[in-house]
Amino acid sequence: MFLDSQGKLRVMTIERHILEEQKIHPDATGTLTNLLYDLALAGKFIASNTARAGLVEILGSTEDYNVQGEQVMKLDRLADQTIYRLNDHTGRLAAMASEEHADLLPIPPRHPTGKYILLYDPLDGSSNIDYNTSIGTIFSVFRRVTESGPGTLEDCLQPGSELVVAGYLVYSVSTMLVYTTGSGVHGFTLDPSVGEFLLTHPNIRIPDKPKYYSTNQGNQKYWSQGVQEYTRSLQGLEGNDKSLSARYIGSLVGDFHRNLLAGGIFYYPADYKDPKKPTGKLRLLYEAAPLAFIAEQAGGYASDGFQRILDIQPASLHQRTPLFIGNRELVEKAEEYIKKFG
């Protein structure tokens, strides 16, 4: 909320912003607008539980019981159920898929199905919960490819280039929701006093001058030569490159969000901890593809080290991928090093 140059009070709530975006698409029916609004609402519920996590015994194991003898629900399960329950009956979705579940989540047969597919990682970075460090929710939406009836696996297994919405919530010093529908990236901060997301970061662009590199360098000995050499270049140990500062939370949303605003690169490469399976850790559909869509809309780029993340055709719901994401020239440089050194 602020006064513009004419002294008029300006408030851009997320609802108003989503409605204004809808006007860009004259054929829009409003379904996607409402779906986004449902996700913002889910974010408010999760943020509220996250903020009270240390007080209401929702940390720790789902096997625990609170003082009233009620079974305690772990925060990531609570987040998962919040998103599912707020979206299972609206008639907007044909199916959902969550990082917390092995299989696709059907819409209960008593409710109507719709034309969209929602994929989500309800609480990313959950190993940070017990340490009061930032965590997040990642979501993305595809248009279904099947004609009607319950959504199928085929509807979910689409490349990121087909996404119609991607966004995340970060629960930290404040709660923010950042999303794109393909016309720029916009960030909203939750004002807890009124319970509303207000536009605070319109049209986010990754700054041209990168500041940070973010990776779990504890895994360095398991990396390929290309990734090791690339890391040396980011540290200014190769040629005349200036060094970047290192920052790593271990919570993808938090690390990505910081680098989106400050400039830099996040990478989680394939590693050889298990020499038979040199895969990345992050999930293509729940983590890499949505953030890749946001990065590209903000002027950045995302790759698996060989190809554009958004071009990868997923073969399974929980497929993992290496991820290099952030400033375009830094990601392309990673691709060059991997091409040259492997």
Least distance in angstroms from the C-beta of 262 to ligand AFP: 17
Least distance in angstroms from the C-beta of 259 to ligand AFP: 12
Q: Which is nearer to ligand AFP, 321 or 327 (CB)?
A: 321
172 in Cβ contact with 129 (< 8 Å): no
Least distance in angstroms from the C-beta of 171 to ligand AFP: 13
The label of the residue with tokens 């006093």 reads 193
Least distance in angstroms from the C-beta of 89 to ligand AFP: 28
Q: Which is nearer to ligand AFP, 126 or 327 (CB)?
A: 126
Q: Which is nearer to ligand AFP, 122 or 151 (CB)?
A: 122
Q: Two tokens at 306?
A: 């060989």
Strand partners, 271: none
CA gyration radius for the chain? 20
242 in Cβ contact with 117 (< 8 Å): no
270 in Cβ contact with 279 (< 8 Å): yes
Give the DSSP H or E segment for 199: strand 196-201
Least distance in angstroms from the C-beta of 280 to ligand AFP: 10
- Residue 255 Cα distances to 74, 104, 172, 251, angstroms: 23, 28, 12, 6
278 in Cβ contact with 342 (< 8 Å): no
Q: Which is nearer to ligand AFP, 18 or 323 (CB)?
A: 323
Q: Which is nearer to ligand AFP, 123 or 244 (CB)?
A: 123
Residue ranges in contact with ligand AFP by CB under 6 A: 124-128, 216, 250-252, 268, 281-282
33-39-45-48 Cα dihedral, nearest 10 degrees:
-100
308 in Cβ contact with 302 (< 8 Å): yes
Least distance in angstroms from the C-beta of 234 to ligand AFP: 17
Q: Which is nearer to ligand AFP, 125 or 210 (CB)?
A: 125
CA distance 167 to 182: 11
Least distance in angstroms from the C-beta of 114 to ligand AFP: 29
Q: Which is nearer to ligand AFP, 29 or 245 (CB)?
A: 245
- Residue 240 Cα distances to 73, 190, 221, 237, 329, angstroms: 52, 43, 25, 8, 16
CA distance 59 to 72: 8
Q: Which is nearer to ligand AFP, 43 or 125 (CB)?
A: 125
Least distance in angstroms from the C-beta of 77 to ligand AFP: 13
- Residue 146 Cα distances to 30, 112, 313, angstroms: 21, 15, 17
